[in-house]
Amino acid sequence: MTGPILEIDTLVKRFGSRTILDGLTMSVHPGEVVCFVGPSGTGKSTLLRCVNGLEDIQGGEIRFEGEKVEARSKRIVAVRKRIGMIFQQFNLYPHLTALENVVLAPVVVHGEARKEVEARARVLFEKVRLSHRIDAYPAQMSGGEQQRVAIARSLAANPHLLMFDEPTSALDPETVGDVLAVMRDLALEGRTMLVVTHEIRFAADVGTRMVFMDQGRIVEDRPPRDMLADPSTERAKRFLSSIQG
């Protein structure tokens, strides 16, 4: 019996006078794939950004592997080292090749030997099916390729938790599938994942939990198939039917 990897207790996040997260409580256990869905502007992305301290919080508490997450503390680095994050806009380093993008943090942050990291990176490029693009620069790659490099980059530091912030929202439709396929592989490996997404089918197939958020709160938190088959709230029902078309 393992305890939760992530515990969020009555989290409050405000931007000025606007409340983005309104007393949100949840915990995540190792191996869970939690998909966050809901209308935009309801705090899903902000929630992820609070978990690794990219945003500071105004109330409540976040614990990652038992350690309190404090955005302004020096110890935040220790938390970030164990969490991989994938952004909507990829945010690859444009002056570095795909390989160098992946190698940078393990060498600079974790102090690993470059040779070993490169060897591991090559395996990761196989995993994201980009071995042939290892020396390309970000601007020479399609969005889908860039996002898969970003996934390899986040995996390079052997994170205990992966966070995906709308990973396919900025992609051309034809490249979305490649990225989702890689994410599916990761889920099958048993990785713990938080995924903010509008890809309901992916969430249904791959997610172990579906969290429906609205106005900074969790409205429903259930296995995806249950929620999709029979949303227990009117709000979720309306949203899911609108998004499924």
Partner 1 sequence: MNQSWVAFLPLFVKAAGITIWLSWLALMIGAFGGTLIALMRTSRFLPLRLVALLYTEFFRSIPILIVLFFAYFGVPLVLGIDLPPFAAATCALALHASSTMSEVVRAGIESVGKGQWEAAHASGMRYPAIMRYVVGPQAIRVILPPSVGVYVATLKESSLASIIGYIELTKTGLLVRESTGGGFAPLLVLAVIYFLINYAISLGGAALERRFDVGQKFLTVGAGQ
Q: Please, which residue, 98 or 210, has the CB nearer to partner 1? A: 98
Whole-number Cα distances in Å, 118 to 36, 114, 150: 33, 6, 15
The total number of residues shown for the chain amounts to: 245
| Residues 41-63 as b or e (16 or more Cβ within 10 Å = b) | ebbbbbbbbbbbbebebeebebb
Stretch that binds partner 1, among 8-16, 91-99, 127-135, 220-228 (CB under 8 A): 91-99
Among 13, 44, 80, 120, binds partner 1 (CB under 8 A): 80
**Interaction residues for partner 1, span 159-218 (CB under 8 A):** none
Contact flag: residue 83 with partner 1 (CB under 8 A)? yes
Residue 171 or 210: the one with the smaller Cβ distance to partner 1 is 171
Q: How far apart are CA 20 and CA 17, in angstroms?
A: 9
Cα dihedral sign for 182, 187, 192, 196?
Answer: positive
Cβ-based neighbour number of residue 202 at 10 Å: 24
User: Does residue 12 bind partner 1 (CB under 8 A)?
Assistant: no
Which of 27, 40, 58, 89 touches partner 1 (CB under 8 A)? 89
3-state SS, residue 25: strand
C-alpha distances in angstroms, 8 versus 28, 140, 149, 199, 245? Answer: 9, 40, 30, 24, 33
Q: Which is nearer to partner 1, 84 or 231 (CB)?
A: 84
38, two tokens: 């809901």
Binding mask 32-61 for partner 1 (x = CB under 8 A): --------------------x-x-------
List the strands of the sheet with 59-64, edge to edge.
Answer: 18-28, 6-15, 59-64, 67-68
> Considering only residues 4, 23, 39, 143, which one is a binding residue for partner 1 as defined by CB under 8 A?
143
Closer CB to partner 1, 165 or 220, in the complex: 165
142 or 208: CB nearest partner 1: 142
Q: Is 81 in the site for partner 1 (CB under 8 A)?
A: yes
- Answer for which of 68, 93, 181, 229 binds partner 1 (CB under 8 A) is 93
Shorter beta-carbon distance to partner 1: residue 4 or 159 = 159
Piece of 80-88, 113-121, 190-198, 203-211 that binds partner 1 (CB under 8 A)? 80-88
114-127 and 98-108 helices, crossing angle to 10°: 130
Structure tokens at 71: 């955005």
* Interface residue list for partner 1 (CB under 8 A): 52, 54, 77-78, 80-81, 83, 85, 87, 89-95, 104-105, 108-110, 137-140, 143, 146, 150, 153-154, 157
